[in-house]
């Protein structure tokens, strides 16, 4: 026993002598920083700083390692250390406060890069970190966790959809890529799929009319997808995941040099070929898809930091949904029902700063979209080509006036095999010319007061001149913890029914136009309040509250009820109103817990002939949340995301026994992600934890899809139930 005690003492002494002792102080602006997390990367060894900013860490590790120090609200710092088991190392860290959300640079509100705090227009910004909390194969699905936004599935069979902002339908949402109107018209329901998410730097969202800057379609709001620059992008990124339903998604990003130019190449591939019919209606619950998208962006170096970028994308997709025994051999026939859509699409866009002393910039884009579709035995073929050019002059007048002048031109060619563009004897493609000019004056009234005045005039070759003004006011407190924005503006939209309403194509309802459609107009008022404060334990809380009101004239609303065998389109003789309130909060604590949550309460109604009714397929309440917790010792993160929607009025047929309203429902997801190195991460989890799916009889006359009363418009959510997913991410910097 005596020898055992001596041996134990010797071993213990040897272990103590072979330990490294790491100590030091964590500071910010020379002041001690409490509760900062200090870990040795790739291990479970870690500690936190005390109220004097002091930390002490003992370890018997040997070799080269990285020490990482992080704290909420500060940039993370990493230092290399060499441990040989015999050292006491004194290593101090001085952290730098991270730019708050108010310091983020945004561009969508004023077409100029400004700090979010300084923008008179409220702009929401979502980074790739937000979207990685619930990985999806498309931006369309990712937006489901943004407060006030709902991806709406418009067809139970082909599963195409659009984006609703504050209850306004997809055609009122203007989708941009790097500020260019790439996704519009015929491509609205397909443009948000296939963009490699590994190349997305951020997504900016403006809720409310933006027609003064962006023209038609920007009535409900703007979604601007900003892609990465070659300087900010890693050399290589790879992300891939699959689900238990058989979905496979892969994103590849690659940075390269081409002469003096720097390039970014992105490839996205999505495949789902596993027909499932869990609701036993004889139809596929999820549309089968085979899609590839290739994106390339070139940046050319120029003097004086002038910008010259050119980008392009090509997308091809083959999707079908229908009866379970449908095969391509039945495409276009009347034996087995299927909806088969072939889509081929190209895009190009870019920016060129003119070599002048003035800030003159030329922006351009063009895209072509070809679609070959069969809805049962009904053929729909369409081609669309859009060209867009914009010249911007950014200048100032004195110290307090920041001016922006713009001249735009948009050319739209659209042709299909329907009566919208003629008939079999006389084809008459729709060609629209839309030149426009706008002016914007951002006036600094005081260091914390700004007034934005804007006006735009467009001349549509079919509908004539359209004028749209706006006014925005912003006030912020001296410490920037309180911001108030007040906005008023006008929006307009020129519609093309066949490019926007899949209800007009799927099913067996007949499309009927009451008269020639006039442009829709709207007036909007919005009040936004942002509050930012910190807690005693170092937590950061951001509150964002808005109230909105939009009044429509000449609104184009599909009438499903007057004649249940028809969809009747016409300008509303009365008016339509969208109003509501929205509240969101972003909370981050020192212990690694963060919460992003929001709720929107709204009333979207239509008044005609003295009768006011709620708009169909529009919820009165929606909520979203994202709760994340980081475990520093394991370098693991847990993400719990979800949304909840209130009842919606649903389109019914004559003598329809289906429920007139949808139920309350919620889609919830959970994910675990684990970093093994700075370059490699594995993630997995469960989607739709509650296994919610709509009613089984959503497709009317599913047993006889070629009958006159066959209808697929009774849809408010995806039929895809619970499923597991597993994926990986790999980067080379």
Residue range(s) of every CATH 2.60.40.10 domain in the chain: 2-94
Q: How far apart are CA 452 and CA 110, in angstroms?
A: 9
Residue range(s) of every CATH 2.40.170.20 domain in the chain: 225-732
Using CB atoms within 10 Å of the CB of residue 225, give its burial: 0 to 12 exposed, 13 to 18 middle, 19+ buried. buried
DSSP state of 99: P
Which residue in this structure is represented by tokens 């519609």? 495
Series of mean pLDDT values for 10-residue runs along the chain (733 residues): 43 50 83 79 77 84 83 74 78 72 77 86 92 92 93 88 86 87 71 76 89 83 89 88 98 93 95 96 96 95 90 95 96 95 94 95 95 91 93 94 97 83 76 95 94 95 88 93 94 64 52 70 93 80 95 76 68 88 92 92 91 92 96 88 97 89 97 91 97 92 90 91 97 87
Q: How far apart are CA 353 and CA 308, in angstroms?
A: 6
Q: Which residues fall within 8 angstroms of residue 228, CB to CB, at 6 or more apart?
A: 199, 200, 201, 264
> Between the CA of residue 81 and those of 15, 36, 65, 404, what are the distances in Å?
20, 19, 5, 52
Neighbours of 477 (CB within 10 A): 12
Q: Quick one: tokens of 593?
A: 């817990």
- Contact predicate 49/73, CB 8 Å: no
Give the sign of the dihedral formed by CA 676, CA 679, CA 682, CA 688.
positive
Report the relative pairing of strands 593-608 and 621-631 from DSSP bridges: antiparallel
Q: What is the pLDDT of residue 300?
A: 94
Q: Quick one: tokens of 441?
A: 């004056």
Q: How far apart are CA 88 and CA 513, in angstroms?
A: 83
> Between the CA of residue 381 and those of 346, 367, 374, what are the distances in Å?
17, 17, 8
Q: Which helix (H) or strand (E) holds 128?
A: helix 128-132
Q: Which residues fall within 8 angstroms of residue 731, CB to CB, at 6 or more apart?
A: 234, 236, 237, 238, 678, 679
Dihedral pair phi/psi, residue 47, rounded to 5°? -160, -175
For domain 2-94, give the CATH superfamily.
Answer: Immunoglobulins (2.60.40.10)
Closest CA to 218 of 176, 247, 178, 264: 176
Q: How far apart are CA 673 and CA 683, in angstroms?
A: 4
Q: Quick one: tokens of 725?
A: 């997913």
Q: What is the pLDDT of residue 191?
A: 66
- Contact predicate 364/350, CB 8 Å: yes
Q: What is the pLDDT of residue 498?
A: 53
Q: Which helix (H) or strand (E) holds 507?
A: none
Alpha helical stretches, state H, 520-603: none
Q: What is the pLDDT of residue 72?
A: 59
Q: What is the pLDDT of residue 196?
A: 77
Q: How far apart are CA 42 and CA 58, in angstroms?
A: 16
SS3 of residue 62 by DSSP: coil
Q: Quick one: tokens of 353?
A: 């700063």
- Contact predicate 55/47, CB 8 Å: yes
User: What topology does CATH give the domain 225-732?
Assistant: Maltoporin; Chain A (2.40.170)
Across 673-703, b (16+ Cβ under 10 Å) vs e yields bebeeeeebbbbbbbbeeebbbeeebbbbbe
Q: How far apart are CA 576 and CA 574, in angstroms?
A: 7
Give the sign of the dihedral formed by CA 57, CA 59, CA 64, CA 70.
negative
SS3 of residue 202 by DSSP: strand
- Contact predicate 308/300, CB 8 Å: yes
Q: How far apart are CA 360 and CA 349, in angstroms?
A: 17
Q: Which residues fall within 8 angstroms of residue 12, CB to CB, at 6 or more apart?
A: none
Q: Quick one: tokens of 114?
A: 């400004």
Q: What is the pLDDT of residue 6?
A: 43
Integer Rg of the chain from CA: 28
String of DSSP letters for 435-490: EEEEEEEEEEEETTEEEEEEEEEEEETTTEEEEEEEEEEEEE-TTSSEEEEEEEEE
Reported pTM = 0.84
Q: How far apart are CA 691 and CA 669, in angstroms?
A: 10
Q: How far apart are CA 144 and CA 131, in angstroms?
A: 10
- Contact predicate 651/616, CB 8 Å: yes
Output helix, strand, coil percentages for the chain, rounded to the nearest 5. 10, 55, 35
Q: How far apart are CA 287 and CA 713, in angstroms?
A: 15
Q: What is the pLDDT of residue 101?
A: 58
């Amino acid at each position: 026993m005596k020898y055992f005690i001596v041996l134990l003492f010797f071993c213990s002494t040897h272990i103590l002598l072979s330990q490294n002792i790491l100590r030091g102080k964590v500071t910010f602006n020379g002041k001690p920083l409490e509760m900062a997390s200090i870990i040795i990367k790739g291990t479970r060894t870690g500690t936190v700083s005390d109220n004097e900013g002091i930390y002490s860490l003992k370890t018997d590790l040997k070799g080269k390692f990285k020490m990482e120090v992080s704290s909420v609200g500060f940039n993370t710092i990493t230092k290399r250390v060499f441990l040989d088991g015999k050292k006491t190392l004194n290593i101090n860290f001085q952290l730098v406060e991270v730019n708050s959300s108010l310091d983020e640079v945004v561009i969508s509100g004023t077409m100029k890069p400004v700090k979010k705090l300084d923008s008179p227009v409220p702009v929401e910004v979502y980074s790739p970190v937000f979207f990685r909390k619930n990985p999806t194969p498309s931006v369309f699905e990712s937006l489901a966790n943004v407060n006030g936004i709902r991806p709406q599935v418009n067809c139970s069979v082909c599963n195409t959809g659009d984006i609703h902002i504050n209850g306004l339908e997809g055609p009122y949402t203007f989708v941009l890529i790097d500020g260019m109107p790439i996704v519009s018209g015929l491509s609205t329901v397909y443009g948000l799929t296939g963009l490699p998410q590994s190349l997305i730097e951020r997504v900016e969202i403006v809720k409310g009319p933006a027609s003064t800057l962006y023209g038609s379609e920007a009535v409900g709001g703007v979604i601007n997808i900003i892609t990465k620059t070659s300087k900010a992008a890693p050399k290589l990124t790879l992300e891939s995941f699959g689900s238990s339903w058989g979905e496979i998604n892969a994103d590849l990003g690659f940075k390269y040099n081409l002469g003096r130019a720097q390039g970014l190449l992105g490839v996205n591939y999505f495949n789902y070929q596993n027909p499932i019919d869990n609701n036993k209606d004889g139809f596929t619950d999820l549309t089968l898809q085979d899609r590839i998208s290739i994106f390339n962006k070139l940046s050319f170096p120029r003097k004086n930091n002038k910008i010259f970028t050119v980008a392009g994308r090509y997308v091809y997709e083959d999707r079908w949904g229908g009866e379970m025994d449908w095969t391509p051999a039945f495409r276009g026939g009347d034996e087995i029902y299927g909806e088969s859509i072939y889509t081929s699409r190209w895009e190009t866009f870019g920016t060129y700063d003119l070599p002048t002393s003035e800030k003159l910039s030329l922006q351009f884009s063009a895209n072509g979209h070809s679609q070959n579709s069969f809805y049962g035995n009904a053929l729909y073929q369409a081609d669309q080509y859009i060209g867009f050019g914009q010249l911007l002059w950014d200048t100032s007048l004195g110290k307090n006036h920041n001016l922006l002048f713009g001249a735009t031109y948009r050319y739209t060619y659209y042709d299909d095999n329907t009566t919208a563009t003629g008939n079999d004897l006389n084809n008459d493609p729709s060609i629209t010319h839309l030149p426009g000019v706008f002016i914007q004056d951002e006036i600094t009234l005081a260091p914390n007061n700004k007034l934005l005045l804007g006006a735009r005039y467009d001349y549509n070759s079919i509908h004539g001149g359209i004028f749209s003004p706006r006014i925005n006011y912003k006030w912020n407190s001296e410490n920037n913890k309180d911001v108030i924005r007040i906005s008023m503006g006008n929006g307009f939209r020129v519609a093309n029914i066949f490019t926007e309403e899949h209800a007009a194509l799927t099913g067996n309802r007949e499309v009927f136009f009451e008269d020639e459609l006039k442009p829709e107009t709207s007036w909007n008022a919005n009040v936004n309040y942002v509050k930012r404060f910190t807690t005693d334990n170092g937590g950061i809380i951001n509150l964002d509250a808005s109230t909105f009101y939009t009044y429509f004239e000449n609104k184009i609303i599909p009438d499903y009820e007057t004649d249940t065998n028809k969809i009747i389109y016409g300008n509303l003789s009365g008016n339509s109103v969208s109003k509501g309130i929205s509240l969101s909060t972003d909370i981050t604590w020192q212990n690694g817990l963060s919460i992003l949550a929001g709720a929107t309460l709204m009333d979207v109604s239509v008044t005609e002939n003295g009768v006011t009714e709620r708009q169909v397929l529009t919820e009165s309440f929606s909520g979203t949340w994202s709760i994340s917790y980081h475990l520093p010792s394991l370098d693991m993160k847990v993400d719990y995301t979800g949304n909840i929607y209130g009842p919606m009025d649903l389109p019914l047929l004559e003598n329809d026994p289906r429920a007139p309203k949808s139920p309350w429902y919620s889609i919830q997801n959970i994910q675990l992600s684990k970093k093994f190195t700075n370059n490699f991460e594995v993630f997995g989890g469960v989607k739709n934890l509650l296994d919610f799916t709509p009613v089984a009889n959503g497709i009317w006359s599913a047993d006889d899809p070629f009958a006159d009363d066959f209808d697929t418009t009774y849809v408010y959510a995806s039929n895809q139930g619970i499923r597991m997913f597993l994926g990986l991410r790999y980067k080379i910097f």
